[in-house]
Structure 1
């Protein structure tokens, strides 16, 4: 049913005045209005009464859209839409497009206005290896008044990257030839304040895109992965100059396997990407002394020295304070001199080796990895690389008649199967703890397990490297220690019990919950036949997303506090995806993806329960 509202602006302002009592440009459960608003159809003069926080916030969102579109016909079906259907529809029809960027003539303006562009003249860095890109972007300099293109050397050093910290910028991504011009290969940003392509976010986003039928965008993620490996030597933490020394969790092969489920994708497309996956595996992960350790397992190990550039002043005050005292300097002055390398302190430098490596892991930050990351054969990185080895074996066997050439070497499926078997045995030897029923990171420097209880203990379920006994213990012993009403926390409460109170609360630890942990857990449970438990865990997370969207004007944030079942997070960096006026237009990338992925698996009875916001406690034992 549609109704005509001749003066949209008047209705919009009346609704805000009446219902947005805290004046935050949203209608939420915290507003104290009457929660009842009357609409009058200008054509029929029939009244329509809208009641309750959820429907009033939907009305606000729909009116905001009508204002933008300059139309006056309101579709009441969107105002009265059931929560699950509305959230999923908005993700499918709107959010992916809102999060899509390109680095080209059309897309540069938005990217150059980014709040994190610190240069007086916004700078785009292009690899000298990309001759077409250098020529294209140099030509664009004249089209933008305040824009500079800088060319990265073909073989740049860590020391060279350090020199860019005083003139940071965005890194170019892939271009493709269209009918009339070169255009940027699109990428999907996480959300909120981000205008760059993030490594492991992009895989989970790709899963959501594939579910929602956006194959071209999912394939574009793979194209930009390939471009980064060829031109920057790795899949970057993100495409900014200060991330050139840092990669992210490897999920490229998983994306390829997902894409290839569509039989229309060519074998030639896969061939180019499989070559690049193998190149990345050999040159990024399997170089002894860097990310490969003497145990035969891997670690995260970023390059660079000192504080990571992207962190705002004050973030490391608890770490820097003793050193400021040591050098008899005010903390801001010490920070300034340490950043400029006027002061060099080996002990502090070592701390930041671990910190940079932790940021490479994607888990920035967690007490699991602080001041220890580069010493750990972590469960997460080795699960990801086991999956690489299994995926490459699968792709060679199923698409290339069991023989594939890359970098002058001919590989068979069995070659990669052997690598996977070796890694699986080593992980189980060094990381599995039978008594605890968990996988722990292995400290190869001190030759012992680091028994911090983290959600990464479930990654072997996802990778498929556990035996049935290990899977049973993970589900029956480990999992209950992580479960809250809305899903699993990043760590157990017990794991952070000994952390001093004056230390900052870490966003990847208890009580916070993140989409990638949930999604990998769900797939792992399904892998081992724990289908009922998978349904439960999916329901818990989707209930949390739905509840917050219903109560808070459609908010879909980066992460949640699972102790309070809320998007209100006050640890470290706060939360992303919660700052908007009137209408959330983009959600948050991997949370959007988790919603679509979960709905694809969740049974119809649970979907009905979701729409009524039935509490998980009423359906499952916590």
Structure 2
């Protein structure tokens, strides 16, 4: 790994000192690396979610004193000095006969977490209000997952929990200056797709437009995080911002870290051995891909096949910029509510400028589809993915572009179980043959926005049918599904298939109500 760790430890300790937030790497050093590299637990996330029974320095001292003893058992040592994360779902038993609606209703309580008490040396970042976790190995709140989970909460009439979720995310913005990937210390180097403005919009629809003004400070602070460096950037890139050839600004995913992810340490170290890229750049691209939520997908690979060629920071993602367009429009709405017409017009202008740039740089005329933009090559990618539905979801596309896009969706993406994330089968989880609730929902709503209601309904019904079929066979709602072969569940990824599952529950409930599907 070439000597990056002494410097890394210093930087991490310095970065987190103000908030007294430390990560497993900074607390346990060589012990952490030994546990992860020796696969003491099958899932690298287990150890980073453990809590110590003693002060970390004391545990490290005992490790250093004992590690070279004959017969030293690392797993036994860890189990002696750490509490394992609790599995709260293990006691829940599904009643398949009661039906999927009843199942989702009962799962809200299973996936609910009460306000956190601050626990010293835990990686959990405490939240002040109740919240919903995705399920399975995901024991904390996740940023973009939560919007789609909240669709279900809204549909179920649980407005109080929707508001709790929004309050928690506003709290994270206040505390850390942005919304991290999840409320864990090891996620503080990155965010996730910025859906906070859509959450605020959802709450405003339930409670009134005054909500926009209440959350305006948080919206502005998140915007500053994503736009940091834009004012001084004359060319090239800086953190999340990219100066385009015509001088306009668009955004990319970018993680502040350039070392292995603590929750996936061994997998990242081993993958780095396969790449020809510089070590730090490779790790930053892996981490930035995790910020995208699409970890991993051929969408980010130079050769379209292999993770070793990942180039996330060299890509302007079409969906990210659609989200930031919505954020700018939502900030404008907040200023309207507070009567500040000058700032309202300013942010409307920012949004219109971004819209113009998305249409200019992300429309692939050869493919007749919206694609990511390749910074170094100065052209749109030819990779067709469901990220290309974002301009329809956010109503940025022209009517003719929407017509072309729906034609591609119908001919290439539509499968027996819904729509597939991409057209390539690489073994990565965000590729074919997998379908994911957030992508299904954004595709369906994007098509509805432009009047393609028949195709939207066809996708929705196929997805609903697949979800219910798997539920009847397994008693579970999954994180992802194989939409090409509907006799199989989804595959790929760095961990076993997860059940629960927050965003699947939310989108399924929303679509079943929207399309009046009356099953138990």
Q: Normalised by the size of structure 1, how large is the TM-score?
A: 0.62
How far apart are 1:394 and its partner, in Å?
Answer: 3.3
TM-superposed deviation, 1:453: 1.2
Cα deviation code 1:49-82 (max 9, x no counterpart): xxxxxxxxxxxxxxx879xxxxxxxxxxx8755x
Shift of 1:271: 2.5
Q: How many Å separate the matches in 2 of 1:208 and 1:526?
A: 19
| Structure 1 residue 318 displacement after superposition | 4.5
Shift of 1:270: 3.9
Contact 1:170 1:241 in 2 (8 A): yes
Retained in 2: the 8 A contact 1:88–1:595? no
Contact 1:377 1:441 in 2 (8 A): yes
Following TM superposition, the consecutive aligned residue runs of length 4 or more in structure 1 with deviations greater than 6 angstroms are none
User: Equivalent residue of 1:305, what SS?
Assistant: coil
2:140 touches 2:184 (CA, 8 Å); kept in 1?
yes
Which residue pairs with 2:218 in the alignment?
A: 276
Give the drift of 1:313: 2.3
* Corresponding position: 1:473 with 2:411: no
The answer to whether structure 1 residue 564 and structure 2 residue 485 are counterparts is: yes
Counterparts of residues 134-533 of structure 1 (less than 5 Å): 137=118, 149=120, 169-173=123-127, 175=128, 185-263=129-207, 267=210, 269-288=211-230, 289-295=238-244, 296-314=249-267, 317-321=270-274, 347-370=278-301, 371-397=310-336, 399-403=337-341, 411-412=343-344, 414-493=345-424, 505-533=427-455
| CA distance in structure 2 between the partners assigned to 1:430 and 1:252 by the alignment | 25
- Deviations 1:526-566 (CA, angstroms, capped at 9, x unpaired): 111111111111101101101111122x2111001122225
Q: What is the aligned partner in structure 1 of residue 467 from structure 2?
A: 545
Alpha-carbon deviation of 1:238?
Answer: 0.7
* Partners of 1:443 and 1:449 within 8 A in 2: yes
Residue of structure 2 in register with 1:590 after alignment: 503
Q: CA deviation at 1:601?
A: 1.5
The alpha-carbon distance between structure 1 residues 237 and 479, as it changes in their structure 2 partners (threshold 3 A), is farther
The separation in 2 between residues aligned to 1:277 and 1:567, in whole angstroms, is 41
Q: Answer whether contact 1:525 1:533 (CA < 8 A) is retained.
A: yes
Preserved CA contact (<8 Å) 1:257 1:395: no
TM-score normalised by the chain length of structure 2: 0.74
Checking the alignment, whether the CA contact within 8 Å between 2:133 and 2:142 is kept in structure 1 is yes
Contact 1:209–1:593 under 8 Å retained in 2: yes
Alignment of 1:84-99 (within 5 A): 86-92=99-105, 94-99=106-111
Does the Cα contact within 8 Å between 1:207 and 1:255 map onto a contact in 2?
no
Query: Residue 242 of structure 2 aligns to a residue in which SS?
Result: coil
How many angstroms does 1:392 deviate by? 2.6
- Asked if the contact 2:96/2:471 (under 8 Å) is kept, the reply is no
Query: 1:283 Cα deviation (Å)?
Result: 2.8
Change in Cα spacing, 1:192 to 1:434, as seen in structure 2 (3 Å) is same
Higher share of residues assigned helix: 2
Deviation at 1:395, TM superposition (A): 4.0
Question: Are 1:557 and 1:567, in contact at CA under 8 Å, matched by a contact in 2?
Answer: no
Separation in 2, partners of 1:236, 1:574: 21
Distance (whole Å) between structure 2 residues aligned to residue 394 and residue 522 of structure 1: 25
Is the Cα–Cα contact under 8 Å of residues 237 and 243 in structure 1 kept in the other structure?
A: yes
The 2-side partners of 1:488 and 1:451 are apart by 19
Secondary structure class of the residue paired with 2:263: coil
Q: Which whole-Å CA distance do the structure 1 matches of 2:97 and 2:168 have between them?
A: 40
- Given that 1:559 and 1:575 are in contact with CA atoms closer than 8 Å, whether structure 2 keeps it comes out as no
8 Å CA contact retained: 1:396, 1:402: yes
Per the TM alignment, residue 486 of structure 1 is displaced from its structure 2 partner at its CA by 0.7
Partner Cα distance (1:598, 1:350) in 2? 41
CA distance in 1, matches of 2:368, 2:326: 21
Deviation string, structure 1 residues 292-312 (Cα, Å, up to 9, x no partner)? 111111000111122111115
Secondary structure at the aligned position of 1:293 is classed as strand
Q: After alignment, is 279-288 or 301-310 more displaced?
A: 279-288
State the alpha-carbon separation in 2 of the partners of residues 196 and 221 from structure 1.
Answer: 12
- Alpha-carbon deviation of 1:390? 2.2
Q: 1:314 to 1:80 in 2, by over 3 A?
A: closer
Kept after mapping to 1: 8 A contact 2:480/2:489 = no
Does the 8 A contact of 2:213 with 2:334 survive in 1?
Answer: no
| Contact in 1 for aligned 2:393/2:446 (Cα 8 Å) | yes
Provide, for residues 118-165 of structure 1, a one-character-per-residue CA deviation record: whole Å limited to 9, x for no partner. xxxxxxxxxxxxxxxxxxx4xxxxxxxxxx525xxxxxxxxxxxxxxx
SS at match of 1:170: coil
CA distance in 2, matches of 1:560, 1:358: 21
**Contact 1:245 1:303 survives alignment (8 Å):** yes
Instruction: Give the Å deviation of 1:355.
Output: 0.9
Contiguous gaps of at least 5 residues in structure 1: 1-63, 67-77, 106-136, 138-147, 151-167, 176-184, 324-345, 404-409, 500-504, 579-586, 612-622
Kept in 2, the 8 Å contact 1:207–1:597? The answer is yes
Displacement of 1:381: 0.6
Shift, 1:391, TM fit: 2.5
Report the CA distance between 1:220 and its aligned residue: 1.0
Gaps spanning 5+ residues in structure 2: where? 1-91, 231-237, 302-309
Shift of 1:401: 3.5
| Aligned residues of 1:298 and 1:382 also touching (Cα < 8 A) | yes
